Amino acid sequence: MSLVRTGTMALLAGSLVAIAIATYPGLRRADAAPEASRVAGSLKPVADFGGIKDKNERAVALFEEAGKVLQSPRCMNCHPAGDRPTQTDRMIPHQPLVVRGEAGMGAPGGLACTTCHHEANFDAARVPGNPKWQLAPIEMAWQGRSLGQICSQIKDPKLNGGKTMAQLVHHMAEDELVGWGWTPGAGRTPAPGSQKQFGELIKAWADAGAACPKG
Amino acid sequence: MAAFTLKINGREHQVDVDPGTPLLWAIRDNVGLTGTKYGCGVAQCGACTVYLDGQTVRSCSLPVSAVGKSEVTTIEGLTGKEAVAVQKAWVAHDVPQCGYCQSGQVMSAAALLGLNPKPTDQDIDLAMNGNICRCATYVRIRAAIHSAAKTLEG
Ligand code: FES
Ligand code: FES
């Protein structure tokens, strides 16, 4: 390959990168933040809520604690209220444009989630992955909803995929895609606490009667 | 380093690479098929698009260790009626300008027509918006995909 051709290709590659970065604010801002800033928050253990005597009040407090996870960008990004997921800690629209499609995996014939997202996170390309990678169904849209609304939605079998409370607790505590929220790969802040703690909070909330925050 | 056998365009290739090497670099540097391009390395431009068992993937975002026994198809090995229709339409519409993004564009366009033989403008946009073109050949790409779809109607 001649030097001129090599040089031209390098220039072109550089331009494509420049375009990609210019069209992808996440790369310039949130993702350019130092790794040290990606520190996950913590969760209070269930025992901390034992002093709340009123059952409903205790359930609400437990759910509000678990809500720190539900409302983290790791969960919210794939629970959009529209057709397009968001991304990064700043929850900007997913770049490139992808839509949920019939199965939450992208438009038919269009850009499928699996075009870029594979079985595991690939930090070299900053692309997250999981075998179950997909959008939550529209009935489970959380973006723009209050924690109280998310709570009512989560426990309604008509909106939660027909789950009983026991199945819901199991899902939160064990599901692999939920668990991705705590190991999201380079450049993404993990959900607060751990999946185990989160599962315990949800279970304690269910055991206390599963009351929801107001509003 | 580790040894991997990659099935690319119907032929097996032995490569000795770090397991985390993006498939793109194994295709280009180890196997020597340079039709697949590097644009961004972060799944944002589509220049590196290949097929894995017939489905489009960005080869920059897939480590060699995840390929397993899957069959890789690159632009050099693209065949089938959709590919022929896309190639003819690309020539008829004189789509490429510098050409750098075009192997990715062609891979995505042929895949789209395989799944959706009569795409609307919106279908095309949803399928192709992940393939960035610095020369902005988008209008010709869309027209050529419509032409290719017409040819496929027979
Ligand atoms: S090089 Fe893979 S998407 Fe840009
Ligand atoms: S033809 Fe030049 S980048 Fe697309």
Give me the residue spans of the domains in chain A: 1-32, 39-207
Tell me, yes or no, if the pTM score tops 0.90: no
Whether the predicted pLDDT of A95 surpasses 90: yes
Q: Are A133 and A114 in contact (CB under 8 A)?
A: yes
Residues B8 and B64 in one domain: yes
Q: What is the mean pLDDT of residues B85-110?
A: 98
- Return the SS3 of A189: coil
Q: Hey, what amino acid is at A27?
A: L
How many separate domains does chain B show? 2
Residues B51 and B116 in one domain: no
Model confidence at B54, in pLDDT bands (50, 70, 90)? very high
How far, in Å, from the CA of A124 to the mean position of ligand 2? 25
> What pLDDT, on the 0 to 100 scale, is given for residue A40?
82
Whether the predicted pLDDT of B124 surpasses 50: yes
Distance between CA atoms of A72 and A75, rounded to whole angstroms? 6
Residues B64 and B91 in one domain: no
Dihedral sign from CA coordinates of B1, B2, B8, B13? positive
**Which domain-ending residue is among B77, B97, B126?**
B77
Residue B69 sits in a domain of what CATH number? Answer: 3.10.20.30
**Which domain-ending residue is among B57, B77, B97?**
B77
State the residue range of the domain holding B40. 2-77
> What pLDDT, on the 0 to 100 scale, is given for residue A109?
82
Q: Would the CB of B100 count as within 6 Å of ligand 2?
A: yes
Model confidence at A85, in pLDDT bands (50, 70, 90)? very high
Distance between CA atoms of B64 and B62, rounded to whole angstroms? 6
Q: Would the CB of B22 count as within 6 Å of ligand 1?
A: no
This complex has an ipTM of 0.94
- Return the SS3 of B62: coil
Q: What is the mean pLDDT of residues A47-67?
A: 98
Q: Which residue from B37, B38, B106, B134 has its CB within 8 A of the most atoms of ligand 2, so it is best to mutate?
A: B134
Model confidence at A33, in pLDDT bands (50, 70, 90)? very low
Q: CB-CB: which of B44, B55, B57 is closest to A20?
A: B44
Q: Would the CB of B39 count as within 6 Å of ligand 2?
A: no
Distance between CA atoms of A119 and A114, rounded to whole angstroms? 9
Residues B88 and B145 in one domain: yes
Q: CB-CB: which of A13, A23, A112 is closest to B38?
A: A13
The 8-class DSSP code of residue B40 comes to -
Residue B101 sits in a domain of what CATH number? Answer: 1.10.150.120
How far, in Å, from the CA of B131 to the mean position of ligand 1? 9
**Which domain-ending residue is among B32, B48, B77?**
B77
Residues B26 and B93 in one domain: no
